[in-house]
Amino acid sequence: MTLQKQDFLKDTVQHFDMKVIDPRPIVSQMEHMAFQARNLSRAADIYNRMLADTECGVILCLAGSLVSAGLKQIIVDMIRSRMVDCIVSTGANLVDQDFFEGLGFKHYKGDVTADDAVLRELAIDRIYDTYIDEDELRVCDDTVRQICDGLQPRPYSSREILAEMGKYLQANGKTKDSILQAAFEAEVPVFCPAFSDCSAGFGLVMHQFNRPAGQPRVSLDSAADFLELTRIKLACKETGLLMVGGGVPKNFAQDIVVAAELLGADVPMHKYAIQLTVADERDGALSGSTLKEASSWGKVDLAWEQMVYGEATLTFPLLAGSAYHQRKWEAREFKRFARIFELEAANAG
């Protein structure tokens, strides 16, 4: 029997709902264990301190394939519950996965032993044990193109374009639970330093290719990204990092301390820092480099930092869920950092 696309795209990935499960008793017992259990318990304590410190701006960094794995709802609820004030992410999480699902598409349970040649023939993309419909991804690419076609042609930061995408979902989305839409509505700025490395890149390529020669077009200003995130550090001196994975988001968020100093500001290092990772530090690569190493660069204070070595679909629900049910966030207000840039634009106009 010849396999068809529907034979593979049957069982959808369901997103973890931290609101209905209280993991605090588990995390509390882990405090008296060893290895990564104890590290996770300490990380949960640091995150609670971060949320209880109402002057602190919380920056959530996302790398890896998190949304496709079922972690989207956690991030959406963190935004709505004032547990995060700014997001720095890879493009895959924000565009290929979150915006993609906002358009009404799904991720599906897959099989790591599947015949990838067959999947390719059927236009099915595999992310370890999940599937995504390539034909639907092309719709996602083209929707980004349409959004860019409707913008005033000029250089943009990734934050600006992602805000437009959140606005688009607010008007046209098929689900209310989108990271980009929730962030747009809560005025939580979202940055993607490597924005072209995802479906947004394909959309921008199509937008620029279709513009007549010599006519202005939408483009990316990576320096504006860096400056805008640095402005958040300047506006909110006390900051904490919650990093899921490593890569560009991790370094980008850490670097704003140094950037602020180069601009002549006297700002403290990130007061709190947590990283959930499976990367190893021994090869000298960024994703596995420790937070203690970051302190040598003047980026992270060592008083409240914790590395947790474990895969994010296991560690992140426990960490975020524990903090959600601890409810330190109830005393916080929305910081609405996006207003910093609205005010700048108004003044410039």
The residues annotated as belonging to the active site are 299
- Provide the token pair at 136: 């639907």
Give the H or E element holding residue 268: none
How far apart are alpha carbons 238 and 333 in whole angstroms? Answer: 15
- DSSP strand pairing (57-62 vs 239-244): parallel
Question: What contacts 24+ positions apart, CB below 8 Å, involve 163-170?
Answer: 163/189, 163/190, 163/338, 165/95, 165/99, 166/190, 168/143, 169/99, 169/102, 169/103
Residues 263, 234 contacting (CB under 8 angstroms): yes
| Cα separation values, 340 from 105, 176, 235, 237, 349, Å | 33, 26, 8, 14, 14
Cα–Cα distance measured from residue 310 to residue 307, given in angstroms and rounded to the nearest whole number = 9
**Secondary structure (DSSP) of 20-49:** S---HHHHHHHTTS-HHHHHHHHHHHHHHH
* Structure letter (DSSP) for residue 271: E
User: Which of 142, 58, 64, 129 minimizes the C-alpha distance to 99?
Assistant: 142
Give me 332's structure tokens. Answer: 């916080």
- Spatial distance between the Cα atoms of 239 and 64, rounded to a whole number of angstroms: 23
User: Quick check: helix, strand or coil at residue 216?
Assistant: coil
CA distance 52 to 210: 50
CA 133 to chain centre: 22
Q: How far apart are CA 301 and CA 271, in angstroms?
A: 5
